[in-house]
Amino acid sequence: MHQSRPVTAERSRLQCPSRHRGGGILLPLHLTGEVQPGRGAGDISGIDIALNGWLIKDYRAYSTETSDNRGIWLQRSVLRITDAALQRAGGFRRKDRMSAIEADDVLEALASATSENQLSSLRREQVVQLPPEGEVWMTGDLHDHRANFSRLVNAADLANNPQRHLILHELIHGEYFDANGAEDSWRTLVRAAVLKCDFPNQVHFLLANHDLAQIHGEGIMKMGLSVCEAFTRGLKRDFGGQYQTVNVAITEFLLSFPLAARTQTGLFFCHSMPADPQMSKFDFTVFDRPLLGEDYKRRVGPVYQLIWGRHMTPAAVEFFADKVGARIIITGHQPQEAGFAVNGPRHLILASDHNQGVFLPIDLAETYEMDGLVGRIRKFVSLGIGGAVAAEEDEEDSTEPSPRSSPKLPGDEEE
């Protein structure tokens, strides 16, 4: 059992503070300690604390103390900084850097969510089997659309709706680029991981082609830039020396995603389906067994084919649906300006990554035909929630027509 004890600072490592050229104070600091175990992956309590490096504090907060007594200043500073760390106040954090404590938090959330994915009691090999009653909210690709994600999480209110399941896919590779071409969609991925930790039986992921591309660190160009490199650049910027550790944790998290989910009423959810030329030879055993490296192989692996396929015809969909024993397949992957598309009587495509984005609340006990499903589709903008951040982001988006386009593979890949 953990014994609670106060966080202490190693006095010997503390040196005289000096003024930082940005106007604050640089304080070389090493703190170690341990606190009472707490709940939730977003909670740092229970994690050993090890802070190393330079913390930048607001100079004004300490100026009077330094002039009087340096010893007391240091003592108070350490207490205040320790407090700040314990409360996750974030006040000592530079906007563009993760503190060591936050990196630990991220790693903890990713590792816990990975285990939850792997050990889920609803999972049968690569497929999540949803229960006969309750609800599932199916989404399309999210691509770091933070306003829609906030609305979704708020509206789903999983804490007060234990019967409700949420399916998420293609969360990464959005449009939050900095001037150096780094983007930080890891944030939305980690938010989703924390959600999984908080509601392990209600939150489910589906592996998507952007996940696989990021696992390989290459493979998708957007407007002439590699989105995978931009993602990695964001990790380097935000986690510094810890970026490789975080990168490994993200890879393991993505690899823990199942390939599909299904209801007992004949609905089957996956990111996409094999394209027509691959369909007849597709290895359908991929859903019902552990996966091997060769399953992910470019073009020929069944996982690759499943999550990369586009423009399948209704006839190919019918073949797929019959093979997996489903009546209707619901996917994302193919961009939809209107938010969704009906591809024949057995395939519904959803998109959640723009201002016309949609999600689909489904009653698990009800049997739907296509018309019934389409009638239940809801736009994120109709939710009218998500707070000020969501509203601001909407305005920003509406002044700038979405540059989002269908992700392209380099060279002679499909599309």
Question: Applying CB under 5 A, which residues contact Mn ion?
Answer: 170, 208-209, 333
How far apart CA 187 and CA 381 sit, in angstroms, is 22
Least CB distance from residue 331 to Mn ion, whole Å? Answer: 9
By C-beta, is 127 or 212 nearer to Mn ion?
212
- In the complex with Mn ion, the residue whose CB is nearer, 208 or 261, is 208
Q: Which candidate, 12, 46, 59, 58, places its Cα nearest to that of 31?
A: 12
Using alpha carbons, select from 241, 144, 148 the residue that is nearest to residue 183: 144
- Residue 241's contacts (CB-CB under 8 Å, 6 or more residues apart) are none
For Mn ion, the closer of residues 170 and 198 by Cβ is 170
Cβ neighbours of residue 322 under 8 Å, at least 6 residues apart? none
- At a CB cut-off of 8 Å and minimum separation 6, what does 94 contact? 56
Q: CA-CA distance, 171 to 192, in Å (whole number)?
A: 8
Q: How far apart are CA 167 and CA 331, in angstroms?
A: 11
The distance of closest approach from Cβ of residue 214 to Mn ion in the complex, given in angstroms and rounded to an integer, is: 12
Which of residues 100 and 351 has its CB atom nearest to Mn ion in the complex? 351
Give the amino acid at 39: R
Beta strands in 170-276 (DSSP E): 203-206, 221-222, 225-226, 260-262, 267-270
- Measured CA to CA, the distance from residue 137 to residue 162 in angstroms comes to 13
Identify which of 386, 412, 395 has the alpha carbon closest to the alpha carbon of residue 148: 386
Smaller CB separation from Mn ion, 57 or 143: 143
Residue nearest to Mn ion (CB): 333
3-class SS shares of the chain: helix, strand, coil, % to 5: 40, 20, 40
Tokens of 111: 């590792």
Nearest to 77 by CA among 65, 68, 86: 65
Min separation Cβ 250 and Mn ion, Å: 17
Q: Minimum distance between the CB of residue 407 and Mn ion, rounded to whole angstroms?
A: 7
Residue 406 beta carbon to Mn ion: minimum distance, rounded to whole angstroms = 9
Nearer Cβ to Mn ion (213/249): 213
- Would you say 72 and 65 are in contact if contact means Cβ atoms under 8 Å apart? yes
Nearest approach, Cβ of 351 to Mn ion (angstroms)? 10
Question: Nearest distance from residue 370's CB to Mn ion, in Å?
Answer: 22
Shortest Å, Cβ 156 to Mn ion: 22
Closest to Mn ion by CB, 209 or 247: 209
Given the complex with Mn ion, which of 142 and 235 has the nearer CB atom?
142
Asked if 206 contacts 270 with a C-beta cutoff of 8 angstroms, the reply is yes
**Spatial CB neighbours of 62, under 8 Å, sequence gap ≥ 6:** 17, 25, 73, 76, 77
| Number of CB atoms found within 10 A of residue 117's CB | 23
Nearer residue to Mn ion within complex by CB, 203 or 208: 208
Side chain identity at residue 346, one-letter code: R
Nearest distance from C-beta of residue 220 to Mn ion, angstroms: 9
Shortest distance in whole angstroms from residue 89 CB to Mn ion: 38
- Residue 327 or 408: which CB sits closer to Mn ion? 408
Tokens encoding 6: 């106060």
